[in-house]
Structure 1
Amino acid sequence: MDSLNIEQNWVRQRMMEIDMERRPSLDLSYRCYSATFLDKNQAAKLETGDKIFMPPSALSVLLSLPSSNPMLFQLRNPNAAERELVSHCGVLEFTALEDTIYMPSWKMKSLDLEEGELVQVKNVTLPKGKFVKLQPHTKNFLDIANPRAMLETTLRSFTCFTTGDTIKLPYNGKEYYVDIVETKPGKAISIVDTDCEVDFAPPRDYKEPEMPVAAASSPTNKAALVAADQIEEPKFNPFTGAGRRLDGKPLSAAPVSSSSLVAAANNGKGNAQPSNTGSSSQGTSRRAQGKLVFGSNAANRTTTPKETEKEASKEQAKPEKKEDPKFQPFTGKRYSLKG
């Protein structure tokens, strides 16, 4: 279906061109000048759109031809031998000098024309535009808050677009240059009294954002990672808090360290090795090893070596408790499947 529509549009455009070739038309050469040769008011009107000033003799020729509204013209640079430079425009006034036309400076630059050079002017009929793709020159165009409103305001002074042209859009005291990248249904379209879809290509100076480099690749981050690895994590130290009595009385001796508690526990189980570490061994008088007593009478109760020996003999005389047998897997007999 798309190929059929393209073919139908091409046939329709070709028939229109053949019809225009058969009709009498305006096809003359004029010397072109920019808006700098006009007064300020005329120059301002000329630079804000794509229209030109033509001589009164051109109007008399156009009136004798079949009427076409709006009046559109094809501009061709006859001196461009290497490439065909063609653009299109409308007419603003018929007040120029004979054999002379005035056109916007940006359109002269697009056609590679100098002041006073010849340009070929021919009246044409263009199809109404359906689609146009624009490409701004700079990223400043992206700073416009409402591009649609901007285009609706600035394009009122334009009559047509030509693929490959560079137009100037003055807006809010600034000038934005935009390339006409693509137009449909033809290479030249009319934008008067038509609904035209507009698309934008990335600006010329736009660069894709670079992929972020890995954070560890930078030397500063590497040094920070090495320093972090060298820092030792704090180890867990048990029994570092302050000791408190269960009866609420103040402590009379220095807090017992973890090593002394372990030694006391080993002595209570009957180990023969005495503990030489702990703050209790550094007192003014060496205390005899005995039981740890907790309670309100702990301060008044002391044990003698004899009592300690008696209690130790009692503990040895006690029968040892037999532990329940633990579960041991795979302890049974082995059988063969063969019988």
Structure 2
Amino acid sequence: MLQTRKHEQKMQAWLQGLNMGGGHMRGNYDQTFVVYGAVFLPNATQTKITEINYGGKILLPTSALDLLLRLNIEYPMLFKLTNMPAQRVTHCGVLEFSAPEGQAILPQWMMQQLGLTDGDTVRVESATVPKATFAKLKPMSLEFLNITNPRAFLEVELRKYACLTKNDLIPTSYAGQTLEFLVVDVKPANSVCIIECDVNLDFDAPEGYVEQPRSVAPSVNVKPPAPPASAFLGAGQATAGTGSTATTTSVFGGAGRRLDGKKKPTSSVSLCSEGTTGASTSDAAAVANDLPAIPPVVVNEDYKAGRVSFIRYDYKRVDVLEKELREREANQKSQPSKLFQGSNRTLRGAR
């Protein structure tokens, strides 16, 4: 009986030291656990392991929940994790209270961030961090450039995280591959809560990205030289120039004549290129010689921005020229021939 009373007195003194009031203890949560990766969780499936590793929340035992409820911890429950020997710190939330007693299940990236291995100890403390207003992330892979809408993608992935701590390297899953982001900066503190808040998100250049140099156009406006006037001469003038490859002789020039005054029959009239069925080259050359010469282009040195002038040359289409040629030939056929006209003559003199 005496030992029982002594034990009860010790329990009352311990409770008074915790300042119990209204059936709830007031104070901060502070415990030390042995840490393990998600693969050591009993009866863990691949889906559960992926959910833990690609998020910022840990698993604690059921006894931790009982103590947190008695301590009247504010929601959402946020914790500060500290590797005491290395003095490395990060912040996180809690996913479930289903870990074995005395153990804490951490994501793999969080253990690497704290420098922990399976079986090490970590200090877990309740923490209060401000709401995030700004976050700057740096992609650690060039695969980030293949994401169509990175902001919408991170809006979904960051829901798996409760806190962001500066210099943390957090992983995300995209199209079956892992994309890591370095937390370059967060405001208004080095650790912020991103639950139910509006965050101004910014991105730094991906790791290994090299910006291509931009080609700068020369500032001096150099006008191209005007084309030669020979490029704008008519077809008839071009063929008559020195650049013509076919040389013709003027000996016995002219066209053939029949004694009955009729013209030599020809095929359909056309101004097509050589090798096609059409009018004779002499007929095509006659029409080509009638084409007006197009004047050369003159550069307007007094041009003013905002006014554009389009020059329209007086020319006819090929089909129109062919029609005119056919009409001209028809008129010539309808007129009587003037060949061998005149009165009869004899050697003896006029009759």
Q: Please tell me the TM-score bracket, short chain as reference.
A: 0.5 to 0.7
- Partners of 2:111 and 2:145 lie apart in 1 by 26
**Which residue is equivalent to 1:48?**
54
Match 1:197 to one of 174, 197, 200: 200
Superposition pairs of residues 107-256 of structure 1, within 5 angstroms: 107-209=110-212, 241-244=247-250, 248=254
Equivalent pair of 1:34/1:104 in contact (CA under 8 Å): yes
Secondary structure of 1:248's counterpart equals coil
How far the C-alpha of 1:166 sits from its partner, in A, is 0.4
243 and 195 in structure 1: CA distance in 2 versus 1, 3 angstrom threshold: same
CA distance in 2, matches of 1:35, 1:52: 9
Aligned-pair identity (%): 38
Separation in 2 of the partners of 1:96 and 1:168? Answer: 22
Partners of 1:169 and 1:36 in 2: CA distance: 18
Amino acid at match of 1:68: E
Q: Distance in 2 between matches of 1:243 and 1:65?
A: 118
Q: 2:78 aligns with which of 63, 72, 76?
A: 72
2:158 aligned partner, one-letter code:
L
Q: CA deviation at 1:245?
A: 6.0
User: 2:154, 2:178 → 1: CA distance?
Assistant: 13
In structure 2, distance between residues paired with 1:238 and 1:198 = 70
Give 1:247 deviation, angstroms: 6.1
For the pair shown, which has the larger CA radius of gyration, 1 or 2? Answer: 1
Distance 1:44 1:66 in 2: 31
TM-score by length of 2: 0.53
Distance change in 2, residues 1:117/1:238 (3 Å)? closer
Match of 1:92 among 92, 95, 99: 95
SS at 1:64 equivalent: helix
C-alpha deviations, 1:10-30, integer Å up to 9, x for none? Answer: xxxxxxxxxxxxx61111211
Shift in CA distance, 242/117, structure 1 to aligned 2, threshold 3 Å: same
Over 3 Å counting, the alpha-carbon distance change for 1:108 and 1:238 in structure 2 is: closer
Residue 65 of structure 1 and its aligned partner are, at CA, apart by: 2.2
Give me the whole-angstrom Cα distance separating, in 2, the residues matched to 1:147 and 1:204. 16
User: Secondary structure of 2:122's match?
Assistant: strand
Q: Which of 55, 58, 63 is 2:64 aligned to?
A: 58
1:170 partner amino acid? S
In 1: Cα distance, 2:32 partner to 2:249 partner: 111
For structure 1, list consecutive stretches of 5 or more residues without a partner in the other structure.
1-22, 213-235, 251-339
Where does residue 35 of structure 1 map in the other structure? 38
Separation (CA, whole Å) in 1 of partners of 2:213 and 2:198: 38
Alpha-carbon distance in structure 1 between the residues aligned to 2:29 and 2:111: 21
Counterparts in 2 of 1:239 and 1:139: CA distance versus 1, 3 Å: closer
CA–CA distance in structure 2, aligned partners of residues 238 and 59 of structure 1: 100
**How far apart, in 2, do the equivalents of 1:67 and 1:99 lie?**
20
1:149 Cα deviation from its structure 2 partner: 2.0
